[in-house]
Amino acid sequence: MSLTQLLISILTIHLLALISPGPDFFVVMNAALAERKKGVMAALGVTAAIAVHISLWIFGLSSILVKFPAFLTALKFMGAGYLFYLGINLILDFWKQASADLDVKSENSGLKNPLAAGFITNVFNPKAWLYFASLFSQFDLSRLSFSVSAGLAVAITLLSFAWFASLAFSISGRGLRVFYSNHIGKVHLVLGCLLIGVGIKSLG
């Protein structure tokens, strides 16, 4: 396999993985429904975490860490715990609005810190660690120079941001924003349940 074929193969696999809905998708969606800027910030947070994963692999640290079951177990519970935290907050927000019968503006809703939410959700996701382990183990990257590895890391990072940012822009369109504003409580309830469900699934 030539160098060009290798890079194209890795980027194609990564794009397919990005398209598959997961915790990152729901966090970006929740933030983008509240405000486009929040959605982009959540996308930036997820991308920053992905950059951390890639950097650790380039320097060979991740290949060591994923061999320790205790490390992956700790990540699993921390990641699930954070998804539970986000989901419960959304459900509590629904109950507060329902009991007070308040018309809360979408600009004041959603994630308080979408950048941190995106980063924490991805970096504490053990499946993300295992994904990059399986991705890079499929190819012989030892023959790549540091500059080529760094270029690959940048390409994967930019591709990740492009996907999640485009997701944020599409979800924050006027039609969905109007729907969200009119049904904010119910949307929070559904998203909260989805995040808790994803958290439960991640513990399996």
- Given a cut of 80, is residue 65 above it in pLDDT? no
Could you give the dihedral angle defined by the CA atoms of residues 175, 179, 182 and 183, in that order, rounded to the nearest 10 degrees? -170
Residue 110 lies in a domain: yes
pLDDT at position 161, please?
97
Greater confidence, 134 or 164?
164
List helix spans (H) across the chain: 3-19, 23-34, 36-58, 62-65, 69-100, 114-123, 126-137, 146-171, 174-182, 184-202
Query: Which are the contacts of 10, defined by CB distance < 8 A and separation ≥ 6?
Result: 135, 136, 139, 152, 156
- Given a cut of 70, is residue 140 above it in pLDDT? no
How many whole angstroms separate alpha carbon 106 and alpha carbon 142? 49
What average pLDDT does the chain have?
A: 81
Residue 116 lies in a domain: yes
Confidence of residue 102 (pLDDT cuts 50, 70, 90): very low
Q: How many CB atoms lie within 10 A of CB 105?
A: 10
Decide if 153 contacts 55 (C-beta within 8 A).
yes
Greater confidence, 145 or 177?
145
Return the percentage of the chain with pLDDT > 70, whole number.
84
Assigned token pair, 24: 């990152």
How many whole angstroms separate alpha carbon 80 and alpha carbon 51? 21
- Given a cut of 50, is residue 107 above it in pLDDT? no
User: Which residue is it, tokens 């969200």?
Assistant: 180
Residue 123 lies in a domain: yes
Mean pLDDT of the region 74-86? 82
Greater confidence, 20 or 9?
9
Phi, psi (deg, nearest 5) at residue 60: 80, 10
Residue 62 lies in a domain: yes
**Could you tell me the CA-to-CA distances from 99 to 94, 160, 185 in Å, in that order?**
9, 40, 11
Mean pLDDT of the region 138-150? 76
Domain range for 106 is 3-11+22-202
- Given a cut of 50, is residue 105 above it in pLDDT? no
Residue 172 lies in a domain: yes
pLDDT at position 131, please?
84
pLDDT at position 149, please?
82
- Given a cut of 90, is residue 156 above it in pLDDT? yes
Assigned token pair, 27: 């966090």
Q: Please give the DSSP secondary-structure letter assigned to residue 108.
A: G
- Given a cut of 60, is residue 108 above it in pLDDT? no
Confidence of residue 99 (pLDDT cuts 50, 70, 90): low
Residue 17 lies in a domain: no
- Given a cut of 80, is residue 19 above it in pLDDT? yes
**pTM listed for this prediction:** 0.76
Mean pLDDT of the region 170-185? 74
Based on the structure, what is the number of domains in the chain?
1
Residue 16 lies in a domain: no
- Given a cut of 50, is residue 18 above it in pLDDT? yes
- Given a cut of 90, is residue 115 above it in pLDDT? yes
Query: Which are the contacts of 27, defined by CB distance < 8 A and separation ≥ 6?
Result: 42, 46, 86, 111, 114, 117, 118, 121, 195
Residue 153 lies in a domain: yes
